[in-house]
Amino acid sequence: MLAQSSGAGPGGVRPRRRDVLLGGIALAVAGAPLPAAARQLSFERRRRGAQTQYRVRWLDHDQRERDISFALAAAEIDQAARLFREFSLEAMRDYLEAAMRQAAAGWTEVTLQIERRPMAVDTMGISYRLLGPPPLLGEAGRQIKDTIEQGRARYTSAYLRRVDGSTISVDYVAATRRYVRALWPLAQALLAIAGNADERTRLALALSFFQAIPYDELTDRVRNGGYDFAPPPTLVDLNRGDCDSKAVALACVLRAVMPGRLSAMATMPGHAILAVDVPWREGDAWVRRDGRVFIAVEAAGPAMAPVGQVAPQTARFLDRQQFSVWPLRA
């Protein structure tokens, strides 16, 4: 179920903290028509040499049939698949242990002993002891601590991840930047369909394309090839994905469909949406970051939520300030 927004527009709200997003209140309106369910009419995929060709038919927000054909580089699809499928905490622990042993290899008077413990993000399941003259242990300890911190940052960055407190999450900013070029052919095909339409209409067309892709929470790692997040080329190739996978893919496409506009990811418990800095209209749900207003778009589906409409649960998170924002700058 989707909700239409009602309440003060962005001009009437003062941010409580400079770096906090403030959301417009979106409330269910009794008797308001519900958006139609997303409907993908057909999906065809064929790999030919260095490219994979696609043809997709779907119904947009006006229940108008759309038909699009495009091709993505097979190498981009395969590389994205490996990058997200091969990431694991166990592999990161192996990487960090190797870096620690290398850092200690040149020591002559201090010995490093490593012991594995139950896996945890803060310690990576690594416990270590330093043996040697007390005057040398302080500097050796600092070297090992720096090695762990720098190694974890390098490993997560290489796999487009970030450390977020006690969890490791997808780095949405890095993922968007990485896959803009990979989805460029899809963006150009959408632009060809949109023709001379205004930017909000172009946004709605791209949004409907991703809403129509079947929703999948990606909890079945066997069925989904080991993914907990489908990077944009993989999302298109699998033809399924969850809320943040679809939002990042939409952000990549919008770099070409709306090159003058900025977008941001808004994450909340169990959900994520995209927001775009198109002009606000009466009824739009919105979020704010550092004085810039972004209009919310629900890319997840299966409801064909128009630009500016969000689900009731999303509206509650926005109203209660229970979300974080990640501006997706180039």
Please give the pLDDT value at position 330. 57
Instruction: Please state the domain extents for the chain.
Output: 10-86+168-327, 89-158
Q: How far apart are CA 261 and CA 254, in angstroms?
A: 8
pLDDT value of residue 145: 93
SS3 content of the chain, % helix, strand, coil (to 5): 35, 25, 40
SS3 label, residue 97: helix
Q: What is the pTM of this model?
A: 0.85
Q: For position 303, what pLDDT does the model report?
A: 86
Q: What is the pLDDT of residue 290?
A: 85
What is the residue type of 41?
L
CA dist 58 and 67 (Å) reads 7
- What's residue 221's pLDDT? 46
CA Rg value for the chain = 23
Instruction: Please give the average pLDDT of every successive group of 10 residues along the chain, which has 330 residues.
Output: 47 39 37 63 96 97 96 96 88 94 95 87 84 95 94 93 84 95 98 95 97 84 55 95 96 94 94 95 92 94 91 91 85
Residue 114, helix vs strand vs coil: strand
